[in-house]
Structure 1
Amino acid sequence: MRYLDYPERQTFGDKNLPCFFYAVDQTHPRYNMPFHWHPLFEIIHVYEGSFLLHLNERTFLLHAGDSALIQNGITHGGSPQSGAECRYECLLIDLNAISLFSSSLREYEPTLADLFNNSILLHSYCPASQTELREPILRLLHLFRQPEQVDILGLIGNTYLLFSAILQNHAYTETPLKQYGKKYEALKKVLSFIEEHYQEHLDLETLASCANLNPSYFCRYFKELTHRTPIDYLNYYRIEVACEQMVYSHRALTEIAYDCGFTDSSYFIKVFRHYKHMSPTQYMLGTKKLPEQ
């Protein structure tokens, strides 16, 4: 998914152990998190404010100090809650590149294999009070706040400690994650289609046909899983992409609007105000330019 393709994405580790780290505040172009998925294990930790996170059919309100653990392949998205600025960090790790299997860990192999294969479901919500999990999470995040190269041994060691805490506290449910997968397959197809074609004219019938559903049922299905109607989500996604272009490019607003699927600049401004509660110009003045890599 395109979520991993921010121009300023911070890639750490090496080619054998890639990992990604994002520090997000209200100046970040993806302050809101569109629904997406990826093949990596993800940690989200909230430092200030609160963040409403949707994971498949589960919803969690994360407050300052809370974390979430997201298994690979799970569709997720969310947004900071109004009232105060939210600051949060995201760390994505390729668990397949970290060998958690050795002769000394043989008794844990079945459970670890089930976790990695999504045969069991993690308790994704980690409140600040759950110190057994919180401490290894914070140590992992701390590794990535340093400007120099990440300590690979520290990364591997703290990943071991996190999964040790998960197993010791039985922070998982033996309910196959795959039972949720089929319900979300059609949604993933539509999200991918929007990601690839948001610049084009799209209507409800086109999106419904992508999911092989009739428009009426598709609209209910989509809203149940994303908490938005299909057209509402399409416009929301277009505005998020526009924000990204405003931060990372020096193109004219009219050009950005047309590139994001809006054929009328005044309508673009109206839709932008609806989602961002400010004009595009105010947004550009209030954000910091992030360095491209």
Structure 2
Amino acid sequence: MNNPAHLLTREDLFEDPTLPLQVYIRDPQPEFPLHSHGFDELVIILKGTAMHVIDGQGFPVKSGDVFVIARNHAHQYQEMHGLALSNILFDAKALTMEQWDIRALPGFHALFSLEPAFRTQHNFQSRLQLSDQQLANVNKIIRDLTRETELRNPGYRVMAKGLFMQLAVLLSRCYSDEPTDESIDLLRIGDAIAHIEAHYAEKITLDELAEKSHLSKRHFLRIFHDCIGRSPIDHLMHIRTQKAAELLRHTDRTITDIAFDCGFSDGNYFTRCFRKTTGETPRQYRTGSTTRDRPQ
């Protein structure tokens, strides 16, 4: 019987509980048993080679490779030969990454969400491969980030988050600018997601998204669902509902105005979609948010 993966938590590895980031530079990478974690992990291979085993599938890695390991995926490195890497552990929700304007980059979606999901589902072998110069630029940011988190001078939290954002932008641009034959479909889906997030309040059709992605409607639907776990239109409704929930929490605007501004032309349909996503009506959600946000 295989040994179950040990689950690592933020409390295990994040040295500063007030900062949703932690950097580890492993040179060399030590032997480490099969494990998973309750946060995401950005990995940059600095040198050497290895077999990265994730969810029981092996993927060879080498210097310059960059990839994200999503939470709750069991993994370990085997057959290591001079392997050194940077591990940047991060809590996407605590960093409010869903609000970053970097989400306009298809490479961001491909690197941070689509590729991690697609890899184990479809034995997806492609990943971002940095040139020597790109790897040097990335290393400089990582060194600066490490210094900020270790010294903890006044303002270090803002600096650390800013450096991580800078790193995410650089890597996302690299992913977008240098597609491979395998990654091109993920970038096309990433482009569709970016379009949905930027234009969620407008009328968006399936035909429009498929055409924007340069894919047939059938192929687009299949890949999108494989990556996201729901259809493009369901994802559009999900984004609209998320935006509406934010406005319900933080403004006193009427529910009808919020519905229209988030792309819902019918109040009853808005209520049905909102309840499907949150389990509450918009009015119930607003009342509950007021109670939850009230100082104790």
Q: Which TM class, normalised by the smaller chain length? A: 0.3 to 0.5
The one of the two structures with greater contact order (alpha-carbon pairs below 8 A, sep at least 6) is: 1
- For normalisation by structure 2, the TM-score amounts to 0.46
> Larger % of helix: which?
2
